[in-house]
Structures are given as structure tokens and as C-alpha cells.
Structure 1
Amino acid sequence: MTTFTHRCAHPAILFACSIMVATMAQAAPDAAALSRQLAQHSPECGTFQQNRWLADFELDLPSSGSFQRLDQALIWRTETPVRTEILLSQDNAELPPGYRMLLPVMTALLEGDWQRLQDHFQIVTDGELSSWAAKLTPLDSRVAATLPSIQVKGGQQLQHIAMAFADGDRLNIELTPATCEPDPAPQAP
């Protein structure tokens, strides 16, 4: 009977076997360790570069701006091409349903709360803590019919979010931590 080590005795096969063993030894980052790392390095504020592809119109819509995390909310300020500010909060009655659905995902991602994400997604991670990637697949079939998956990447913090929608639309967001800007002083009457 031929053993595994005997099969790997030939130099070319030995090289291939060593690659296989090294690949098997590399494991995806532990979800708990990744969650702790992201929570420890979660920025309160940051900037974003966003690119939205609208498949029906074959139109690319780039934008940029900043964000600030609050308790159970997120302020998303678009600075180009148009200045807008939206409060992403479950308490915001004017928040469109699509934003309301994405709010818990965005805040959980920014905070590194994988437990909350695992309540709604199957998560498969890859890489290592310093350079990781994850694929989030919705557990709810109604959500999956609209948003089949979310791809995220990062290091110490979340750096990239890619959403591919069932209708062909795509949303890519690059995030960079930044110092929070102080609130402007109130104007005297």
C-alpha cells in the first residue's frame, strides 16, 4: 500500500504536496477574533467613495462624502456630486424602506458585530485578520431575491462593501477612517 509521504517522494510531486499542505493549513479568520478586531478599531467617522451602477440605464453614478456613527444611527453625508445628508435611523420616519433595510447591516458591519450579522446572513470568511474578505448571503429568501450577496473586505477596519442586486444594479463603497469634524458653532441671531 502506498502512503501519502511515499507519493510525495518525487521532487515535482513533493512541491505540489507542500502547496496542498500549506493551503490546508491556512484557515479563514475566526469570526469571534475578526469581530473583536473590528469592534476595537471601528471608526466613529470616515469618508467614502461610492459607485452605483444602474443596469437598466447603463449608468455609473459616482459619489463621495463622509459618515459618522451615532448610537443606533448613522449620518451619511454626500458631498459630491450633490450635497445631501441623511440620518440612517430606525426612528427616521422619512427613511425609505431600502435604507431602513440596509441600516442594521451597515451599522453591524462598521461596528464589527458579526453576531448580529449572523442572525440575517450566512457568512463565509477568507484570508487572515490583517487582510480578510467575507461573503454574506441573506438567510431570508425575500431579501436574497433582491440582494443575493454582499462582499466585504478589510484589515483592522471594514474597507470595502460590494452589493450585487438581482436586477443587475451594483453598489461599491470604499471606506476610510477619518477624524470627526466638530459640530459647527450655532450662529448668533
Structure 2
Amino acid sequence: AQKLVKMGWRGSETGELVFDDCKVPVENLVGKENNGVEIVMSGLDIERVVLCSHAIGISQRALDITIEYAKSRQQFKKPIAAFQMVQSMIADMYTDLELMRCLTYQLLKEIKDLEQGGGGRGEIHMRSAAAALHAGRACMRILDQGVQIHGGMGFMWESEINRLYRTGKILEIGAGTNEVRKLIIAGELLK
């Protein structure tokens, strides 16, 4: 298998697997033949909520290091945390994070009772897609503001905020892209 190099999420290796004329004995099938997509889809609702938890962790770290940086970085003989625009961005970061946390915790409570194979449809399908959509977008807003507050240092590859930014992007792609999440939400609402 070929190892693939990613822009973020580098602590977890990703590789390409190719199956050519692969035969699976009947006793090794998971579910019914040709029903694999249904099994995968039922697990995606849980995966989406788990990804929201990753977004919370990444966002919390981004907020913490941005506050620390804003308190220590001096401009015009005072910390940049004293400037109202920086304060406004930090308040926005916190608000996005808290909304993400509330929605994720509520869904974690609801999804823990989800039966095996019970996802992939209905309200929990829509709500997990909505939570993942919000978490991915909010995380990227938080990271973008963190990079902005860090200024030139935030643009440097070696900075922690830059690494978090690169890692966070997968939250808008994994377990269904933002566009797929919107289709799920609209599809459930318009039934």
C-alpha cells in the first residue's frame, strides 16, 4: 500500500489499498451481500459526532494559545490583547467554541442509545450532519482568527496555530464534506 502524505492529521498514517479480484467467503461477509454502503452509512452518524469532539479539542487549544499570545505580544508598548479588535476576535472564537460544545454534548447524549445499524436516516442523521457542518465551519473560523491574531508568526509552518489550522481542515471534509452534510440536512427537512 502506498503511504499518502497529508497537510494535517499527521499523527495518523493514511495509505491507499487496492483490491483486485478480491473474493470474500460468505462466512466472512459483514451484513448482506451488496449492502456494505448501508452499514457504512449507519456508522457515519456516530463518526460525525466524534469528529465534533475533535473540533472542540482543536478549537480549545487554538483559543488557549491565542489568548496566551495576545497577552504576551507587545505592539505600541502594550499587549495586543488590549486592542478592541483582538478582543472582539477572541470573543467570537469563544462563542463559536461554546456553541459547538453545547451541540456536540447534546448529540453525544442522544447518539449513545443509537442501535447498531440504526443510523443513516431520520432525525439523528440530520442532526449529526448539522453538528458536523457547524463544528467544521466553527473550528475553521476559530483557527482563522487565531492565525490572524498571531499575525506573521501564525503564517509560519512551524507555529502551533499553523499546524492546528492545517489539521482542522479535515473537519470540513471527513465523514462527508460540508456539501454532503447540507444535502443530508435538506433531504431530511424536505421529506
Per the TM superposition, whether the score is higher than 0.5 is: no
Q: Which has the higher helix share?
A: 2
Task: Give TM-score, length-normalised by structure 2.
Answer: 0.23
- Choose between structure 1 and 2 for higher RCO, CA contacts under 8 A separated by at least 6 residues: 2
Q: Which has the higher strand share?
A: 1
Task: Give TM-score, length-normalised by structure 1.
Answer: 0.23
Larger Rg: 1
